[in-house]
Structure 1
Amino acid sequence: MPAVSLIYKARVIALVESGMSYGQVAVAMGIPKSTIYSIVQKRRREQTIVRRPGSGERQISSLAQYEPLVSEIKRSPFAIAASAAATTRFPGSTKTARRRIRTAGIRNYVAARKVGLTPRHKELRLGFALEQFVHDNDFWNRIVFSDEKTFQSSPNCRLRVYRPRNTRYEPQYVQEEDRSRRFSVNM
């Protein structure tokens, strides 16, 4: 059950006792129906809605404390949660910081890579394509394509990025590379 304040719990009980269904109370209060059910069941079982002592810790951070953390991650999405927490002096642990970032709808993904082409590269590629465009089908029927193996000349360091869902190829979340550091060998 998500943490719900005592005032919210009392309001839930009052609405249920006034005759509203769990679904109606959930919509009115903006909390899940399962939480409404848990609150009512606890009231019936224990005759109270107050938390038992030692039944889990309260949140260390408040909304005012984790808004700067989320803003920092939005400002520099390639940062790691630990450095963002340290920069913003977030009071909780790194694990808690990651949870707060996730609550804000931002998740950690592997960054998409984009090889940065210079204008010279673009001209050369266009020139090559235009040169090959003039050949007819007889020419292409005589071409034999062989298998290629691709090797990478540097370690595969997958950079991670914090970003909202469905924003993989937005420029601020893409890892730019000068070159691919890959080469092919015909076998």
Structure 2
Amino acid sequence: MTPGAIAQELGLHRSTVHKLIKRWQEQGSVSTKPRSGRPKATTPEQDEAIVERAQERPLTPVVKYPRDLHLACSVPTVRRRLHTANIKCHVPAVKEVLTPYNKDDRMGIALQYSAEDELFWKNAIFIDEKCFPSVKAGPGVCWRVTKTRYLEKHIFSKAKSGRVSTSLWGWMWAYGPGELLEINGKLTSEQYIRILEDVLLPTVHVMAIPAPHTIHIVHDRSPVHMSRRMGRHTSTSKYMHQSCEVNAKQT
């Protein structure tokens, strides 16, 4: 069969058929030989430096790597090196970083109340306040391997600007959320007690725990919560009992 007939049969150009026939005659195969290709833009040492930077400073944007590491490569090249090392781009967890003291205290409280029965927790009301301030920047990105989201170095800590947008107080219990109240100005122990009497008790009795059952208040160790006035009030209250305190703060 002539090269022209082969080209017509296979729908190829005649010159392509001639090249393949010649390659078969000279090499015994029509496969192309391995090629060297373009040299890599980074050396093995630079690849290692890229991975080390991601491990040491995972919250650093990858666009800063070429400048910081003096690399003559593009940002996509840096991303490829990280992907090769199984380091991917994720949204970091946004949490308050706990100190060893916080962790030990939380474990102690959990053990202290581990023996309480189901009725105790059904009558437990969790209350807290939250300030929502403006922040300087969002969480950005985090370069890490999978299943390491909550390592301390992978957590983004909010940079507060000092301007408070709004403050809220609220309660919840084992079966869902309760009341939410906006706080005007700085919360004092006197204002806090009024909230407990005028907002907490009426809404809890209607939505969750009817009177005369005792309510176990679960809150943190904020100075307002732990004031002497608050202690005297709960000790004499007919319906409220100040129970466990969580989220302890180191002093």
| Greater share of residues in helix | 1
> TM-score, normalising length from structure 1?
0.50
Higher relative contact order (CA 8 A, sep 6+): 1
Q: Over alpha carbons, which structure has the higher Rg?
A: 2
Q: Which has the higher strand share?
A: 2
